[in-house]
Amino acid sequence: MNEKKITATELRGWKAPARRVAALTAYDYPMTRLLDEAGVPLILVGDSLGMVVLGYPDTTPVTMEEMEHHVRAAARAKPRALLAADLPYRGYETPRQAVANARRLIAAGAEAVKAEGGRAIRPQIEAIMEEGIPYLGHLGMLPQSVRVEGGYHIKGRKPGEQEALVEDAATLAEIGAFGVVLELVTPAVSAEITRLLPIPTIGIGSGPDCDGQILVTPDLVGTFPWFTPRFVKPLMNGGAEMKEAVQKWMHNFVP
Ligand code: KIV
């Protein structure tokens, strides 16, 4: 395997069909190390850890301290992959706060940061990028807005949504983001944004035509079996396998 460290500058050029971005989330040392050994080039310490690790109902209760704790653990794996981390809900309300928190994630070991939104947070993104911190965008269904939106709704269907998404995506590319996650965006709109953008689109529940795909790893490997998004087909049943192993072990000595 090529051991050269993957950088945001390199990922910026990974457009399909020549290159495709495979990205997964990780929240600790073993998960990061396993994904890295599997060859995943972009690993995200996502604030999805709120649900799949910390047991919160959504991502909004996740704090900066919790993000730092998990980024530190993931960074100890010293991945060849680029290690990105989410700025949590209400962690980037002003440019000053965005920069301070992005710096904290970088100090914890992240190599890039992600936040949710486009033109609405342009000053925050510009301030982060002025610090020389690589930035990954996130558009479409924004999980940190789930309470305001009243659920996880597909984007790109309602009048004006397509134009707004295209504008937001173009803005992120113009500012210098190295990629943009498109979450729950209709496949047609995702394909159009992917065609227009000079940087990779990384889809989650947004159809097959993005330049790359990202998933919440426990959804893929079945270690959070109590909820699986409709668009994910788990490739292993980690939760059931773990329970089986534990029961086999117990039955060796428990009467
Ligand atoms: O928090 C997260 O895991 C994410 C991915 C779903 C893209 O933002």
Q: Which domains does the chain have, with CATH numbers?
A: 8-253 (3.20.20.60)
Mean pLDDT of 161-184: 98
Q: Looking at the predicted structure, is the pLDDT value of residue 140 above 50? A: yes
Q: From the alpha carbon of 47, which atom of ligand 1 is closest?
A: 1
Please give the distance, rounded to the nearest whole angstrom, from the Cα atom of residue 245 to the centre of ligand 1. 29
The binding-site residues of ligand 1, defined as CB within 6 angstroms of any ligand atom, are 25, 44, 46-48, 86, 138, 181, 204, 214, 216
Q: Looking at the predicted structure, is the pLDDT value of residue 2 above 60? A: no
> 155 pairs with which residues across the strands?
185
Three-state DSSP class for 68? helix
Alpha helices in the chain (DSSP H): 8-11, 29-37, 49-52, 64-75, 95-108, 122-130, 146-149, 161-175, 187-196, 217-221, 238-251
What average pLDDT does the chain have?
Answer: 97
CB 216 within 8 A of CB 52: yes
Q: What is the pLDDT of residues 218-252, one digit of tens each?
A: 999 999 999 999 999 999 999 999 999 999 999 99
Write down the pLDDT at residue 33.
98
Q: Kindly state the percentage of the chain with pLDDT values over 90.
A: 98
Write down the pLDDT at residue 253.
96
Write down the pLDDT at residue 1.
47
Mean pLDDT of 200-205: 98
**Ligand 1, atom 3, residue with closest C-alpha:** 46
State the pLDDT confidence band at 119, using cuts at 50, 70 and 90: very high
Mean pLDDT of 197-211: 98
Write down the pLDDT at residue 205.
98
Write down the pLDDT at residue 3.
81
Q: Looking at the predicted structure, is the pLDDT value of residue 117 above 50? A: yes
**Ligand 1, atom 6, residue with closest C-alpha:** 216
Q: Strand 179-183 relative to strand 201-204: parallel, antiparallel, unpaired? A: parallel
Please give the distance, rounded to the nearest whole angstrom, from the Cα atom of residue 26 to the centre of ligand 1. 10
Q: Of 66, 68, 183, 192, which is the active-site residue?
A: 183
Element (H, E) at 82: strand 82-86
Q: Choose which residue among 89, 183, 216 to substitute to test ligand 1 binding: the one with the highest number of ligand atoms within 8 A of its C-beta.
A: 216
